[in-house]
């Protein structure tokens, strides 16, 4: 594969990862708001724990996407021209 083809492919992967990351960040914000509202409404601890667990899962997914983004960028920079 030619260098510029690899760059274009990597750019597409990075664009997808950025879009996915934005969606995950939005979901995190929604869940954090949901958690605040549940706490204010004195919802059962089990519900709040379930929301916390979902937030943790989304944060982990965001970390994985950031690693993927960094890895892809690093591969492009390290590729021979």
Question: How many angstroms separate the CA atoms of 64 and 61, rounded?
Answer: 5
Q: What is the pLDDT of residue 26?
A: 98
**pLDDT tens, residue by residue, 17-68:** 899 999 999 999 999 999 999 999 999 999 999 999 999 999 999 999 999 8
**Count of CB atoms situated within 10 Å of the CB of 69:** 18
Closest by Cα among 26, 16, 19 to 72: 16
At 41 the three-state DSSP class reads coil
Name the residue ranges covered by the structural domains of the chain. 3-78
Predicted local confidence at residue 47, as pLDDT? 97
Res. 73 pLDDT band, cuts 50 70 90: confident
Of 55, 54, 72, 57, nearest to 18 by C-alpha is: 72
């Amino acid at each position: 594969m030619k260098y510029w083809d690899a760059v274009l492919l990597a750019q597409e992967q990075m664009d997808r990862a950025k879009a996915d990351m934005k969606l995950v960040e939005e979901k995190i914000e929604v869940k954090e708001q949901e958690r605040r509202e549940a706490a204010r409404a004195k919802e059962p601890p089990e519900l709040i724990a379930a929301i916390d667990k979902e937030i943790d899962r989304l944060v982990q997914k965001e970390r994985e996407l950031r690693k993927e983004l960094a890895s892809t960028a690093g591969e492009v920079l390290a590729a021979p021209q």
